Structure 1
């Protein structure tokens, strides 16, 4: 009887661990995919979300089509900016996507969406065809010193949600190693200060580091109908012409179904002990609520 129970536990553990690993990979790679390379001014684009809970569109609203001071090109736009994992030995990429913790969780490809708003204000919306009541991971990347970033969300009735109930589940640097042209630098991009309040989540850069590849991952609470995520971005133009370096101001976002929290109890094969897996969570240290 004891042998039978031991065998049953081992089989159950194998199934549970296998199912956990499968869910962790597949759900984490269900990213919203932006269609098109770049679009200027106000627009709405249908997007794909393979494995996502519903359809989604991306909508950009701008205060006006502001040009750079020399009139060279529009400055308010969205653009596809996918990053694919490149190992630190690939010296031809100045912004290597080398963060192995993100690669392990989300895969080797991050389909980022650039939101550019030089010298103006733009509002990026992820609009869901049907309300979502499961956790989502919202990436906000590359918040610089001159940027103002605010995140809000709305329920199925269009009412603003309590943003103090959201959480910052992870933050860090997309590229652990940076190619300076002659050697790799291990300087870490500083993560922004993230403050939670009832009305919004605000992200503010801590200093004027120019090479900022920091990321923050925000997650909504479960069992609350979510119909729209709104990201308001105010950017300051850094140079008079697009032909000059450091031109314009932008952030990058990405939206994915959330990595399942491994907080459920799993029985490990070969023993009768219970082991609980938990991801690191960042809680009230940066909360303004």
Structure 2
């Protein structure tokens, strides 16, 4: 009888510990209350996320990032999934609940730590604790192409002029991606008209949707073919302004608020958010004694 009771106790302890380990799934949300994107998140995204979390039995914790945040949290809203494996930062549009659901499903299986790879001809802006990067792509010249035209020289000078025309972004180099990175992709379509003008159409893409641009120029940037440098500078400045507008765009969920560099850097342990691993077999045995 004593042996039976002992076995039952071990089984109960194992079950309780197993449940506790499974219940460690959490969504940790960092906000900056009062700032525009965080307020939009609370109005238009948080209710749906809370409903989803309730269905999936995920605990939701909301923290004010201004009181301190881990290194990987550089902007808000930031959604982090925590389980016994570790922490995973959601990289997606906060208004797209389907993207969040897929992220959580993947993060449950394996801890994800996304690292952006540096690409050539990428302009970079360090915005508070966040890094914004915009890989640029200049398409081949179309239209009335001169007979002595050198595409490689034209393209290289175009990249230099585009970066020189920007107010905040500068041409980056490998190693600039030291922290969290938010990316947009810039495309430029130069054309030489029959009248001798250089016209540049532009597209801007979010990293979260490479197929549908968030901006397409209705009217090209343009100027005289003899002043290629200035035409590309104007185009670079114009598309930079469109990118900056996306930072405040809450309609599609691309928008975010950067964390100030003055905000204290706190570890997950400091925040009381250390991931608890599964209970080991020898721990179950010791608990039953």
Give the TM-score normalised by the residue count of structure 2: 0.29
- Report the structure, 1 or 2, having the larger strand content: 1
- Report the structure, 1 or 2, having the larger helix content: 2
